[in-house]
Structures are given as C-alpha cells and as structure tokens.
Amino acid sequence: MRLLILGGTTEAIGLGRALAADERFQAVMSLAGRTRYPAAQPLPVRLGGFGGAEGLAEYLTRERIDAVIDATHPFAIQISGNAVAAASATGTQLLTLLRPEWHPLQGDRWTLVATIAEAAQALGAVPSRVLLTVGRGELGPFATAPWHHYVIRSVDPPHPDILPPDACVVTARGPFNEAGEYLLLNEHRIEVLVSKNAGGDATVAKLHAARALGVPVVMVSRPAKPAGDVVASVSAALAWLHDRLPPRGA
C-alpha cells in the first residue's frame, strides 16, 4: 500500500516508525521545509510544497498513492485544505491524525483568544515579561505591543526584522519536560505565557510549569481543520490503515 504522510509532528514520526518496520506499506514523509534542520525521520523524505491542491493531486496520481495521512500541526490549515481537495479530486483515501487539544485544569489561569492578533491585545497595557511559544512565523502582531519584554522560543531563530523591539530568542526543539520548563519560566521571570492550543505531550510541560508557578496563559484556540476520516492517535491510524490493506495475494 503506497502512502503519503504529511508530517512535521511527533505523531507523524511515531507513525513513520511503525510503517517503516512493516513491509506491507511503502510510505514517504512530506515535510514543508520551514525548519532549517528537520528532526530525523524514519521514512524517505520529500521536502517542500506541492504547488497547491492541484500540484498535490498530480503527485498522488503520478506516484500512485493509495492513501494520504495528514499528520500535520493542528494549526496547519492550508496544507490540510489542499489534502482534502486533492484527495477528493483523485479519489484517494484520506486520514487526518489530529491529536486532542488541551483543556484547562484546576489552578490554570487561561485567557482564550481566537487569533494571534487577539493574543497580543490580551497582554494588556501594563508592561509584562512574556514567553511566546507560537512559532517564528507568528510574531508580527506582538510588534504592536512593544512595551512588553518578550522571550521567544523557536526551533530556528526568527529573522531579526520580525522580532518585537524588546525580545530575546531561545532556540530549542521539543519534547520538553516540566523541570526544564519550570527553570525557563523562573530564569526569565516570565509573567505571561502565550501558546497555541497544539495539544499533545511534546510541549504540554510548559502548561504544568505555568500552573505550578501561577503564571497566566493566553491560549490561542484551534481553528477548524479541514479533514478526512479523523483519528486521535498513532495506534488508531495504524488500525485504519490495516483495515484498508488489500487481501493477501490480491
């Protein structure tokens, strides 16, 4: 069974490991190429975009892909929309592997917002020390609130031109643990954490640390994600694939 995995997440790597060890599948991992040094992948990698939904549809047809697994980030709306359109155009099976979102627990102090721009506004007029964990492509709106001090955590350093005026950059790749996140918040005297509701285990430790320290969180809610069949775990994705394997000898 020939598969295209739209990756870039912890779940995509986990699925790739399982498929690499199963000779019934021939899978390729597609990465957008936005990270300078992508994490090591267990499958052959295709790097870069497809040229929209039409380009993706052409790829599915040319490579005789039997199924697409969309295991991209919950906020990666554009590629998911292209996957839905391309799968529909070519009659290709589509599965979306979408990890569950986070929910506030007792002791959490969340302010829910719909967009990054609203997150910047929610920081208010009083200067604060803010940890941004929203990705290096989402920093623009915070330039409208230059009175805050920003600590920006990113896999790759953002371009200096898009940094808010008073900012320092911490480059790091998850998964993160609670002890490390506690230390980060303490060292930088963080007063507010800004995060997207990415869900999953790789970056949830920052929320545990914020709860322990009483640090409020501005949480950007997930947008609606275009999807095929939806599962929430690697094991469920494997079950979906196994159900669609052709009979032996077919």
CB 217 within 8 A of CB 207: yes
- Please give the DSSP secondary-structure letter assigned to residue 108: -
Predicted confidence band of residue 250 (pLDDT cuts 50, 70, 90): low
Q: Which pLDDT score, from 0 to 100, does residue 91 have?
A: 97
How long a stretch of residues is the chain? 250
CATH of 110-220, one of 3.40.980.10, 2.20.25.90, 3.40.50.720, 3.40.30.10: 3.40.50.720
CATH 3.40.50.720 intervals, the chain = 2-100+224-243, 110-220
Q: Which pLDDT score, from 0 to 100, does residue 36 have?
A: 65
What is the tens place of the pLDDT at every residue in 175-190? 999 999 999 999 999 9
Domain 2-100+224-243, classified CATH 1.25.40.10, yes or no: no
What is the tens place of the pLDDT at every residue in 4-45? 999 989 999 999 999 998 999 999 999 986 666 667 788 899
What is the tens place of the pLDDT at every residue in 109-122? 999 999 999 999 99
Strands, E assignment, 10-85: 26-31, 45-47, 67-70
Neighbours of 90 (CB within 10 A): 16
How far apart CA 23 and CA 57 sit, in angstroms, is 25
Q: Which pLDDT score, from 0 to 100, does residue 179 have?
A: 96
Quick one: what percent of the chain has pLDDT higher than 90? Answer: 82
- What distances in angstroms separate CA 220 from CA 21, 76, 134, 223, one per listed residue? 37, 14, 9, 9
